[in-house]
Amino acid sequence: MLPTPRLPILLHHSPIPPSLPPSLTHTDANTKRETGRTAQLGNIAAAKAVADIIRTTLGPRAMLKMLLDPMGGIVITNDGHCILREVDVSHPAAKSMIELSRAQDEEVGDGTTSVIILTGAS
């Protein structure tokens, strides 16, 4: 098994300028494009990092998470979808996992934490 690098998931958010149509993607000059094995390892590390955020909220010994929402309020929850809604990510694989959690919540209404943990399983 290859060692997985730990990547920071909570990153600053750079909004798309309002002058661009929503279908276009805005990239900074500092954006680096990865390919091949490096991209695979980065995607795996991002998936594991997102799963690690909510892994402790599942099961009979689940722990609550205390979050600070954008308005400055405190949210205490063990709902995986609620936690992932508050996390600001910039990695495409991590964004896909949060979208997976949202789709699971909309379609079934349950199992968001389990889906993310299974997706990030090693």
Name the residue ranges covered by the structural domains of the chain.
36-119
The pLDDT assigned to 70 comes to 80
pLDDT at 11 exceeding the cut of 50: no
pLDDT in tens, 20-67: 444 444 556 666 766 788 888 888 888 888 888 888 888 888 888 888
Cβ contact 14:89 at 8 Å: no
Tell whether the torsion through CA atoms of 106, 110, 113 and 116 is positive or negative.
negative
Q: Which residue has the tokens 């909570």?
A: 10
- The model's pTM is 0.64
pLDDT at 5 exceeding the cut of 50: no
The residues pairing with 121 across neighbouring beta strands, listed in sequence order, are: none
Own/partner pairs, 38-44, CB within 8 angstroms, 24+ separation:
41/2, 41/4, 41/5, 42/5, 42/7, 42/91, 42/93, 43/91, 43/92, 43/93, 44/4
